[in-house]
Amino acid sequence: MTGVVIALFVSQLLLALSLPAHLRTLTPVLARNPARFRRLALALRSIGYPLLTASAALAMVHWGPALGLTYWFGLFALTGLSAALGLEFLNRRHAR
């Protein structure tokens, strides 16, 4: 179960960081170089989506197909909320 939660959290964090608004807030240097930003966003997405799929597979292996997907969607919401709150905290911290 811990592996599912960690994989979900990291994958959602990577996918959120592949969006321009979040990544530019954390690293404003990338705003000046759009080609480098596109490569980095593509790399983050190419790691985030397979990790998201792997977390669903881990949940189905651990709890079975039906219950695994049910728990996975519940954990998806919890880890997504924690990732969003963490990014918002970092955004406000960098704004000061």
Reading the block at residue 62, the tokens are 């651990």
DSSP 32: G
Distance (Å, whole) CA 34 – CA 45? 16
Those residues with Cβ within 8 angstroms of residue 34's Cβ, 6 or more apart along the chain or in another chain: none
Structural domain boundaries of the chain? 2-95
Tens of pLDDT, residue by residue, the chain (96 residues): 899 999 999 999 999 988 888 777 777 777 678 888 889 889 999 999 999 999 999 999 999 999 999 999 999 999 999 998 988 887 777 666
